[in-house]
Chains A and B, each alone.
Chain A
Amino acid sequence: MPSFPAINRRTGPQCDGGALHPRWLRLTHWLNALAVIVMTTSGWRIYDAAPFFDFSIPRSATLGGWLGGALQWHFAGMWLLAANGLLYLCLSLASGRLARRFFPVSPRGVLADVGKALRGRLAHDDPRHYNQVQRAAYLFAMLDVIVLVASGLVLWKSVQFGFLRELLGGYEVARRIHFAAMALLVGFVALHLVMVALVPRTLLAMIRGR
Chain B
Amino acid sequence: MRIFQANRSDAGLILKEARKILAPRLESPSRRAFLRNLTLGGVAMLSGCSPDDDVEHALSAISRFNDRVQGWLFDPNALAPTYSAEMITRPFPFNAFYSEDKAPAVREDDYALEVSGLVADKRRWRLGDLRAMAQVEQITRHICVEGWSAIGRWGGVRFSDFLDRVGADRSARYVGFKCADDYYTSIDMATALHSQTLLSLTYDGQVLPREYGFPMKLRMPTKLGYKNPKHIQAIFVTNRYPGGYWEDQGYNWFGGS
Kindly state whether residue B205 has any CB partner on chain A within 8 Å: no
Kindly state whether residue B257 has any CB partner on chain A within 8 Å: yes
Q: How large is the interface on A (under 10, 10 to 19, 20 to 34, 35 or more residues)?
A: 20 to 34
Main secondary structure of the interface of A (DSSP, over half): helix
* Interface-side segment among B1-9, B70-78, B160-168: B70-78
Measuring CB to CB, which residues of chain B are less than 8 angstroms from any residue of chain A? 16, 19-20, 23-24, 32, 58-60, 62-63, 66, 70, 73-75, 78-81, 141, 143-149, 221-222, 246, 249-252, 256-257
* Cα distance, A29 to B85, chains bound together (Å): 49
Could you count the A-B residue pairs with CB atoms below 8 Å apart for me: how many are there? Answer: 85
* Cα distance, A155 to B23, chains bound together (Å): 25
On whether the beta carbons of B19 and A73 are closer than 8 Å, the reply is no
Chain A residues near B74: list those with CB within 8 A. 160
On whether the beta carbons of A157 and B256 are closer than 8 Å, the reply is yes
On whether the beta carbons of B147 and A46 are closer than 8 Å, the reply is yes
Chain B residues near A71: list those with CB within 8 A. 145, 250-252
With A75-B66, A157-B70, A160-B75 known to touch, is A50 a contact of B147 (CB < 8 Å)?
yes
Measuring CB to CB, which residues of chain A are less than 8 angstroms from any residue of chain B? 46-47, 49-50, 52, 59-60, 65-69, 71-73, 75-76, 79, 155-160, 162, 165, 170-172, 175
With A46-B147, A158-B257 known to touch, is A68 a contact of B79 (CB < 8 Å)?
no
What 14 additional pairs, Cβ within 8 angstroms, besides A66-B20, A76-B58, A158-B143?
Answer: A46-B146, A49-B145, A49-B147, A52-B147, A66-B23, A68-B249, A69-B23, A71-B252, A72-B63, A76-B59, A160-B74, A160-B78, A160-B256, A162-B81
